Structure 1
Amino acid sequence: MASPKGWASNITSIASRIYFLLIILQIPLFRVPCRSGMCTTPIEVTSSQLISSEIFPVVVVKAFLYPGAIANGLIKNMTIPRWDNLLDIYNLTDVKEASAMTDLQRLEVLAGSYFSVAGSLVGLLKPGRMSMFGMLLVIWGLVKEGILGKPLNTDPAKAIYVYPTMFLALICAFSSVKYDVKKVVRSSQARPIAKPLQSSSKSKLK
């Protein structure tokens, strides 16, 4: 029978892998305006910002996009997209000329997407809190934009939307926090029983 510590470690590992697949395969989590048009995944938000700011080489951004592009191509029309057409597929060719106000108005979603992508990669080696922090930032940004703020666009196709898969990603992000899970397991173990002091017991005998 597996120990509680081993069971908790397995849950953390499985959650980290599921979260990684949700991010890297670009499963739609939300819909929000971005520099490339409408972004539905943290990788799309991150890629549009990286291409426009030229922080990383284009080949690195393509490496993040390609696994999801292959998955989407096989699901939609059973074809594998070409490496050279990735920027065209994601509408990133003219993203440098796009207005930066779109990202500045949604800093929480942008920062949360960065943390979500980085957390999914780091979580494969060492699960931590980066994924959870990223998801919370994204959710707060979407809530702030959709509920607390006034929508600038009334077109349903361009309105902010949260897919049900977002809740799955949030659960996996929380479950992949290895430190907190171990702490709970340690606290559930047997606690030492306090023993009376020898001096006090001797004084009672006298």
Structure 2
Amino acid sequence: MASSSRKLATIVSSIASFIYFFLIIFQIPLFRYFFFFFFPVPCRIGICKTPIEMTCSQMIASEIFPVFVVKALLYPGAFAKSVMQSTPLPSYTKLLKFFNFNNVKKSPAYDLHRLEILAGSYLSVAGAIAGLIRAGRMSLFGTLLIVWGFVKEVIFRKHGYLTSTKTTYMYPAMSLAVLCAFLSVRRDVRKIIRCYKSSRSVTKSLRSKAKHA
């Protein structure tokens, strides 16, 4: 029983890690901001829809990471966009212009109010890459941080702490990302499988006792 639970947990965790990697690295839109008038934008490139865009905009602005690392992270998303939009794949030299990364704003004020989303984006990207080698909780922590960042904005706006007329949206893919991040943790999946099998065995024993009663 333990061996079958371990094998099933490994399969589920591997599939979830791959789907999560696909969502993050190929830049499937997870969230979006809509702005009106001249309120400050939350992302250094204007509007960010994916953790990759949030992460790369910060990496370029900080100038700590070399440009080729940023381009390596952006290239899979450029490929996916080119396939979906039936457009030519941008060249390596024009990759930053393709994502509007040529005019990244240097001011740190763009990140102060959304530290949870920024930190969660970093962890999500790192967790997606590390998950292909060994699945851990980094993806789950990162995704939950992003969700908490959005929930916090809704709470603050409801109580009047935020007065700007901006609206935040999370795409349905965000729910899939949270689910895959949770299922990528093999230990947690094994616990769920064991609980399910134990409850099923208890139910069967109760039914058999009821029949013989």
What range describes the TM-score normalised by the shorter chain of this pair? 0.7 to 0.9
Structure 1 position 186, deviation (Å)? 6.0
Pair 1:153–1:73, CA change in 2 (3 A): farther
Pair 1:105–1:179, CA change in 2 (3 A): same
User: Once the two structures are superposed, what CA deviation does each residue of 1:89-108 show, in whole Å capped at 9, x if it has no partner?
Assistant: 2221121x443212111000
Give ranges in structure 1 of 5+ residues lacking alignment.
191-206
> How many residue pairs are counted as aligned between the two chains?
185
Q: Which residues of 2 match residues 33-52 of structure 1 at below 5 A?
A: 33-52=42-61
User: Match for residue 168 of structure 1?
Assistant: 176
Pair 1:112–1:79, CA change in 2 (3 A): same
SS at match of 1:160: strand
Separation of aligned partners in 2, 1:92 and 1:151: 29
Pair 1:165–1:183, CA change in 2 (3 A): same
Separation of aligned partners in 1, 2:195 and 2:32: 40
Structure 1 position 87, deviation (Å)? 1.1
Alpha carbons 2:96, 2:102 under 8 Å: kept: yes
Separation of aligned partners in 2, 1:183 and 1:153: 44
Partner amino acid, structure 2, of 1:52: A
SS at match of 1:27: coil
Alpha carbons 1:35, 1:100 under 8 Å: kept: no
User: Match for residue 81 of structure 1?
Assistant: 90
Please tell me whether Structure 1 or Structure 2 has the larger radius of gyration of its CA atoms: 1
Give the TM-score of the pair, scaled to structure 1: 0.83
Question: Would you say 1:119 and 2:127 are equivalent positions?
Answer: yes
User: Match for residue 194 of structure 1?
Assistant: none
Alpha carbons 1:128, 1:179 under 8 Å: kept: no
Structure 1 position 189, deviation (Å)? 7.8
Separation of aligned partners in 1, 2:122 and 2:100: 19
Structure 1 position 181, deviation (Å)? 2.3
Structure 1 position 184, deviation (Å)? 4.6
Alpha carbons 1:5, 1:185 under 8 Å: kept: no
Separation of aligned partners in 2, 1:26 and 1:81: 16
Separation of aligned partners in 2, 1:18 and 1:152: 35
Separation of aligned partners in 1, 2:63 and 2:88: 30
User: Once the two structures are superposed, what CA deviation does each residue of 1:110-166 show, in whole Å capped at 9, x if it has no partner?
Assistant: 000000000000100100100000010000001111342325244xxxx32100110
Give ranges in structure 2 of 5+ residues lacking alignment.
34-41, 199-213
Separation of aligned partners in 1, 2:111 and 2:96: 19
SS at match of 2:131: helix
User: Once the two structures are superposed, what CA deviation does each residue of 1:40-73 show, in whole Å capped at 9, x if it has no partner?
Assistant: 0000000000000012100000000001111101
Partner amino acid, structure 2, of 1:118: A
